[in-house]
Structure 1
């Protein structure tokens, strides 16, 4: 018998500032920018609109706005979400030209974005892929999403439209880059004023000084991870972590801060879990090289049959079946590169295929509160070894996959 659990893993603190510099915020020039894209992956999707406002002394002093041609028709979801149509981007310049002009325009000013990890992810990917630059943007960065979570923890959520409404900032045509950038700019001015008055923050490199303190675990986004007990020490630590997550770190769901997992990791094997895990999500949105640091935390990496990930295609989080198989293949290659076992698991929720109806009834009864109701549920029954080998036949060399699983099974006993 092997004991284990799927957990909600959170970082102890999420940075507000990237590339920190000892730069006086009051005197700085800010480039508040926003990108609209064909999807969520900086690897498989592309920028279709890039807009920004330049702010100095509390005033907008310049604007940048450009469409970019993706060279393929936009999906219905993209058009509905952004309001950008094929006609608007058909005669637009290539992304490389837009990004090159933007890079020159921003200089070394402080970059600001709401959920900056997303926007910076696309900008850095564009630098690397389009401009043939190996380095990421070196500008100091401020994330107004994390700054909002830090300054106003009592708010129910910290979405851009929620914060703008709270502070009476006009936001027209939400999800159009120029309007989002302008609204974020005015929101940033309000936040920096509050940061100076309430937290005595005057310099860019002071923004992260409170990271990891107090209720920081509540501000971090949970990622799924798998814990398996190897021995009695691991089982004791497993029970300890489950107790901590419910007694001390419960916020909407039971959470386990990374520092606590590190503290009680002895005797446990940590796996990267499903598409809600940070390795799979990282591989969806970033280059394999960027996922290496993420994967290094785990003892083994997990992949599921493509059928288990079909909801990602339905939600247009992954472009197509080919891109999905490429993501799985890249995780397998990453495991080989890092000398970590890659385990094919089924994300099993029930034993037989016909049992799917019971899970569907359970989830449907929870209504809109459960995000699983937003898409068709995947088939996550217990698959046989032959079924799993068939599901992963696109990887080739089935024997190596079987040997890899056998090696890990021996390690786990």
Structure 2
């Protein structure tokens, strides 16, 4: 547990999203954009967004998928500069992403390059959705935003827009859980345990809180 007690609450988080040159840093892929939203006491209080130059060209598919062109990246600061700034932005906060295993891999790899680290835990709004939004058609971010009628800027696959939508989804998810466990202070640990509980045992787990 972090020394700063309130930081362990699930409504004090940084929600982040990367756009990248490909699927895995293990294959030499790099981040090309980071977007993040800081939530304190359930309110969005700050954002972070930057393109970053990965030192290599992105392919046509990534350009079309993200709308981020090679000419935009040529003008951008290096990954190292941006990730140093982002490490400062994270501070002691825990982190949330939609399909977090993807973003965590890139965060870890990019911070390794600049010899920075983070202390917080990581949670996944997609895993949580599979436990508490069982009727959703699927658990893609765009689907859940529509299904739960959450605020959207209509932009997908740009980092800050996706991080902002994920932040709204995360707060909605916390509210859903709080309805079933009204007297419980929702910590990051509780949410992460809930994300791993078999679907059939969700109500049973919430009843034990």
2:49 to 43, 65, 70: 65
Quickly say closer, same or farther: Cα 1:199–1:155, change in 2 above 3 A: farther
Deviation sequence 1:155-208 (CA, Å, 0-9, x none): 221000000001212142200001001111111110011112125662211124
Quickly say closer, same or farther: Cα 1:62–1:214, change in 2 above 3 A: closer
**C-alpha contact (below 8 Å) 1:161/1:171 kept by paired residues:** no
Unmatched runs of 5 consecutive residues or more in structure 2 = 202-209
SS in 1 for 2:54: coil
Cα distance in 2 for residues equivalent to 1:124 and 1:143 = 15
**C-alpha contact (below 8 Å) 1:99/1:126 kept by paired residues:** yes
2:9 to 2, 15, 24: 24
2:88 to 93, 104, 111: 104
1:141 to 122, 137, 142: 122
Partner of 1:192: 174
**C-alpha contact (below 8 Å) 1:36/1:47 kept by paired residues:** yes
Deviation sequence 1:374-410 (CA, Å, 0-9, x none): xxxxxxxxxxxxxxxxxxxxxxxxxxxxxxxxxxxxx
Quickly say closer, same or farther: Cα 1:171–1:149, change in 2 above 3 A: farther
1:115 to 99, 113, 138: 99
Quickly say closer, same or farther: Cα 1:173–1:39, change in 2 above 3 A: same
More relative contact order, 1 or 2 (CA 8 Å, 6+ apart): 2
Partner of 1:361: none
Quickly say closer, same or farther: Cα 1:212–1:24, change in 2 above 3 A: closer
CA RMSD across the alignment: 2.0
Aligned length in residues? 191
Q: TM-score if structure 2 supplies the norm length? A: 0.84
2:138 to 157, 179, 182: 157
Quickly say closer, same or farther: Cα 1:56–1:102, change in 2 above 3 A: same
Unmatched runs of 5 consecutive residues or more in structure 1 = 1-20, 217-413
How is 1:225-304 mapped onto 2 (pairs within 5 angstroms)? none
Q: TM-score if structure 1 supplies the norm length? A: 0.44
